[in-house]
C-alpha cells in the first residue's frame, strides 16, 4: 500500500477518494464532484490516505478551523472523513493514519476536534468527550411577517448561492465566547442534503440566513 497526503489539489487522486466516501458514507461521487466544481471544497482540506494500487482504502482528513474563544483567535483544526473500506478493516490502518496526522497537528494548532457518535474509538488518541447540547424554543412569525419577510433560497440556483457567499465574506461573530471563524465549506456540503436545503431561508433586511422549518407564511 501507498500512503499519500496533501494531495487535495490533484484532481485525479482526489477523485479516487470520492469512491471511498460513496462506499463508506453513501455520499455519491457525483455530489463531491459538483461540490468541488462549484468552489465549495475547502482549500485547507488535507487527506491522509492509504491506497492499494489506485484504490483508496483508508482515510482521515484534517482542515483548518480557526476559533474565537473568549475574545481570542485560536488556531484550531477539525478532523473528518474518518473511513476505512470494510474489506480492509482490522488491519490497523486507521490507527497508523491517526498517529501520523496527530503528530503533525500537535506542531501546527492549539486545539483539534471531531464530531462522532463513537467517542470510545478516539479517547485512546488523547481526545476527551465534550457533551453536546442543543436548545429549542417556539417562535412566532406573526409579529415580523410584514417587516422582515424570509424567502426560501434555492441552493442549486447560482444567484441564491451568491447570497450565501457574500454573507460568509461579511459575517460578524455572534459570540466572542465561542465562534467558529471558518465553516462555510462544511455548511455547503450539508446543503446537499434535501433535509437541510429544503429549509434554507434568507431575510434580506437582517442579512441573515437560517435553516428552519417554518409553518405558515413568513
Tell me the per-residue pLDDT of 56-65, one tens digit each, with 9 for 90 and over.
999 999 999 9
* pLDDT confidence of residue 21: 97
CB within 8 Å of 59: residues ≥ 6 apart: 17, 20, 47, 48, 49, 50, 81, 82, 83, 84, 97
List, by residue range, all CATH 3.40.630.30 domains of the chain. Answer: 2-125
Is it the case that residue 142 has pLDDT exceeding 60?
A: no
- Judge whether residue 17 has pLDDT over 70: yes
118 or 58, greater pLDDT? 58
CATH class of 2-125: alpha beta
Average pLDDT over residues 52-56: 97
Q: Is the pLDDT of residue 141 over 70?
A: no
Q: How far apart are CA 129 and CA 115, in angstroms?
A: 10
pLDDT digits (tens, 9 = 90+) for 23-51: 999 999 999 999 999 999 999 999 999 99
**What are the start-end ranges of the E strands in the chain?**
2-5, 46-52, 55-64, 67-69, 72-74, 76-84, 111-113, 151-152, 178-180, 200-203, 208-211
**Nearest alpha-carbon partner for 10 in 46, 39, 34:** 46
- Beta strand 46-52 with 2-5 is antiparallel
Percentage of the chain beyond pLDDT 90 is 76
* Residues above pLDDT 70, as percent of the chain: 94
Query: Any idea what DSSP says for residue 43?
Result: T
Q: With 60 as the cut, is the pLDDT of residue 217 above it?
A: no
Q: How confident is the model at residue 218 (pLDDT cuts 50, 70, 90)?
A: very low
pLDDT of 85-94, one tens digit each?
999 999 999 9
**Residue 67 confidence class, pLDDT cut points 50, 70, 90:** very high
Q: What is the mean pLDDT of residues 108-117?
A: 91
pLDDT computed for residue 8 by the predictor: 94
pLDDT in tens, 152-211: 999 999 999 999 999 999 988 989 999 999 999 999 999 999 999 999 999 998 899 999
Amino acid at each position: 500500500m501507498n500512503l499519500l497526503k496533501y494531495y487535495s489539489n490533484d484532481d485525479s487522486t482526489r477523485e479516487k477518494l470520492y469512491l471511498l466516501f460513496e462506499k463508506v458514507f453513501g455520499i455519491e461521487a457525483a455530489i463531491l464532484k459538483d461540490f468541488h466544481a462549484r468552489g465549495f471544497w475547502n482549500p485547507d482540506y488535507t487527506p491522509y490516505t492509504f491506497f492499494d494500487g489506485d484504490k483508496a482504502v483508508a482515510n482521515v482528513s484534517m482542515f483548518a478551523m480557526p476559533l474565537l474563544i473568549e475574545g481570542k483567535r485560536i488556531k484550531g483544526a477539525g478532523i473528518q472523513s474518518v473511513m476505512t473500506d470494510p474489506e480492509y478493516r482490522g488491519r490497523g490502518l486507521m490507527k497508523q493514519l491517526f498517529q501520523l496526522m496527530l503528530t503533525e497537528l500537535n506542531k501546527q494548532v492549539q486545539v483539534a476536534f471531531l464530531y462522532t457518535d463513537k467517542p470510545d474509538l478516539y479517547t485512546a488518541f488523547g481526545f476527551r468527550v465534550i457533551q453536546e447540547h442543543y436548545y429549542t424554543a417556539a417562535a412566532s412569525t406573526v409579529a415580523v411577517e410584514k417587516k422582515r419577510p424570509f424567502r426560501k433560497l434555492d441552493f442549486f440556483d447560482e444567484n441564491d448561492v451568491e447570497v450565501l457567499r457574500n454573507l460568509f465574506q461579511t459575517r460578524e461573530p455572534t459570540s466572542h465566547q465561542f465562534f467558529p471563524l471558518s465553516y462555510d465549506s462544511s455548511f455547503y456540503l450539508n446543503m446537499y442534503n434535501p433535509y437541510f436545503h429544503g429549509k434554507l431561508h434568507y431575510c434580506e433586511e437582517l442579512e441573515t440566513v437560517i435553516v428552519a422549518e417554518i409553518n405558515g407564511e413568513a
